[in-house]
Amino acid sequence: MKPSEIVEATMYPAPFPPWSYPVERYYYGWWDPQQPPPEPNDREIKSQLVDRLRDNPHTKDADIRVDVKQRVVILGGDVGSWLAKRAAGDDAWDTPGVVDVSNQLVIRQGAMP
């Protein structure tokens, strides 16, 4: 193909604009970039965290108090091991909406290290 034939081939209009942006294809009604998803309130965070702690095999038998204030989780009470303390803290951090965690859990005397 000669260079002049390439130029002539590119001069003919395409049936659609070559770089059109199909907006309706990428943006659906369920996502609005102007509005962020709603953040859970303190009661919802506490409920989700208590359920997580009950399901976790390391913390299900522990005496853990959960308090949530302005999306900050405060863990208190006694646990049997450092692993249970760590697991409770990790569960708190993994709960949606949590911005900070104060892990004040105390490991019982005589518990395994």
pLDDT given at position 54: 96
List CB contacts of 41: < 8 A, sequence separation 6 or more.
Answer: 97
> Which backbone phi and psi does 79 adopt, to 5 degrees?
-130, 165
How far is residue 65's CA from residue 100's CA, in Å, rounded to a whole number?
A: 16
Tokens of 67: 């308090």
Question: Which mean pLDDT values do the consecutive 10-residue runs of the chain (113 residues) have?
Answer: 54 57 56 74 97 96 95 96 96 96 91 54
